[in-house]
Amino acid sequence: MSEGRLRKASGDAAHPFDGVRRLVASLESVTTAAGMVLSCGALAASALIGLFQIVTRFILDRPAPWSEPTVRTLLIWMVYLGLCGAIRNGAMVAVDVVYNTVGPRLQRVMRAFILIASVGLFALLFYFGLEMAEFVRHQNLAGVGISIAWAYAAIPVGSLLATISLLAHAVRPQSDDEVEKLKEQAL
């Protein structure tokens, strides 16, 4: 019986937002998985196309005109789609000197602020990224012949996935494995 009471006391069993939490969490697990699969796919594809460019340059003496813009575009997609995974793992680089010195209550306030700030930036990027994609839809990617809007679309799509990831990270933070986090920070 003590176990049941404990669980209740800690607010785990019947939280008013439990349904919402579960919904966000399950939605997020799908979107982040999809985002990361596509991000990794874009990385692998851009490496292969890059290799193709080198080979054609050596064999045909001139690279195909579409390969370089395609590599650039795929890598932009990789970056914006990969953000949801970075957020999910809590791997975004931050200066947490102050955060680590304040008490747990202030930490909660700071976490809420960080969430609002991050969602704010991604909301801006989402809305104006869409506007930008709309704005450039008649321009073509040089050498590829498709609308540059397809490249710009990476920003709103990635921002949307990142926002979902942020919300899920807020309601159900993943285990904080410091080593894994660090491994993902480059430089």
Q: Give the binding site for other proteins (CB under 8 A).
A: 36, 39-40, 42-44, 46-47, 50-51, 53-54, 68, 71-73, 75-76, 78-83, 85-86, 89, 91-99, 110, 113-114, 117-118, 120-121, 124-125, 128-129, 131-132, 135, 151-152, 154-155, 178-179, 182-187
Nearest residue to 76 via CA among 149, 142, 139, 136? 149
Using the minimum distance from each CB to other proteins, give the nearer residue, 81 or 164.
81
Give CA–CA dist 158/122, Å, rounded. Answer: 9
* Residue 3 Cβ vs other proteins, minimum distance, rounded to whole Å: 33
Nearest residue to 33 via CA among 77, 90, 75, 88? 88
Using the minimum distance from each CB to other proteins, give the nearer residue, 129 or 160.
129
| Residues in contact with 167: Cβ distance below 8 Å, sequence separation at least 6, in sequence order | 24, 28, 115, 119
Using the minimum distance from each CB to other proteins, give the nearer residue, 92 or 171.
92
Using the minimum distance from each CB to other proteins, give the nearer residue, 21 or 141.
141
* Residue 172 Cβ vs other proteins, minimum distance, rounded to whole Å: 19
| Residues in contact with 138: Cβ distance below 8 Å, sequence separation at least 6, in sequence order | 147
Contact 21, 70 (CB under 8 A): no
Nearest residue to 153 via CA among 84, 80, 82, 83? 80
* Residue 10 Cβ vs other proteins, minimum distance, rounded to whole Å: 26
* Residue 108 Cβ vs other proteins, minimum distance, rounded to whole Å: 12
